[in-house]
Homo-oligomer: A and B are copies of this chain.
Amino acid sequence: MAQPRKTRTPRTGRRPGASGSREAILEAARTLFAEHGYSATSMRAIGTAAGVDAALIVHFFGSKARLLREAIEWPFDPVEAAERVYAKGRRNVGEQLARLVVETWEREGDRSAIMTLLRAATVEPSAAEMLREFMQDELAPPLFQRLNPDQPDLRAGLATAQIVGLGMARYVLRLEPLASMTSDEVIAWVAPTLQRYLTGKAP
């Protein structure tokens, strides 16, 4: 993302200077998106919480979907995560990927950035587009390209479908006993599915 130009001054602003305002906006957006959801959070409300004019948010970020992408920190670095996913070899990528996502959710639960983004995506097409781009551009290349399968985009999509569905069932719908099972139990069930999607034979 381009550096913000310093051509405007916030009308009100507890932190002076463009970078202070930018940080304040990101922090306010992060808090409000997590608490009230993406749809229910207006640019104006973010501006008020950050002590800046809403116009400055547009100036810095362009759109609410871009602000969402900048504000929500993905809970793991995709390149570092890929090291862990591949640490036990190609035949264990399903289990290691399941472990990565289940343990990330176990730490952060329902308030995980992943859930905030999924919630936003289900209600707003612009947020869905943003999340799709993030998955295709930043998650899939380090995590899935090394496997060099046929139909790499399809396999990444199928794995994503299983992961998203697990998150919805365990943390949003809270289906029992899935919601209360240990990480290891969940990983044992889901790992073979991810393994097949990523490295199995096409049907």
Interface assignment of A157: CB less than 8 Å from any CB of chain B: yes
Structural contact, A172 and B122, CB atoms closer than 8 A: yes
Given contacts A37-B39, A118-B168, contact A192 B188 (CB under 8 A): no
Contact of A175 among B132, B162, B172 (CB under 8 A): B132
CA A47 – CA B64 in complex, angstroms? 31
Q: Which residues of B contact A105 (CB under 8 A)?
A: none
Interface assignment of A170: CB less than 8 Å from any CB of chain B: yes
Given contacts A158-B189, A164-B168, contact A174 B128 (CB under 8 A): yes
How many copies of this chain does one complex carry?
2
CA A103 – CA B28 in complex, angstroms? 42
Structural contact, A122 and B132, CB atoms closer than 8 A: no
Interface 1/0 per residue, A164-203 and B, CB below 8 Å: 1110111011111110010000001111110011000011
Count class of interface residues, chain A: 35 or more
Tell me which residues from 87 to 127 in chain A have a Cβ below 8 Å from any Cβ of chain B.
118-119, 121-123
Structural contact, B157 and A161, CB atoms closer than 8 A: no
* CB-based nearest B residue for A176: B153
Contact of A160 among B122, B173, B202 (CB under 8 A): B173
Structural contact, A189 and B197, CB atoms closer than 8 A: yes
CA A115 – CA B77 in complex, angstroms? 31
Q: Which residues of B contact A131 (CB under 8 A)?
A: 173
Residues of A within 8 A of B (CB): 37, 39-40, 118-119, 121-123, 128, 131-132, 135-136, 151, 153-154, 156-158, 160-166, 168-170, 172-178, 181, 188-193, 196-197, 202-203
Q: A132-B174, A160-B169 are in contact. List 8 more A-B contacts (CB 8 A).
A: A121-B173, A136-B175, A151-B177, A153-B175, A154-B177, A161-B170, A162-B162, A191-B203
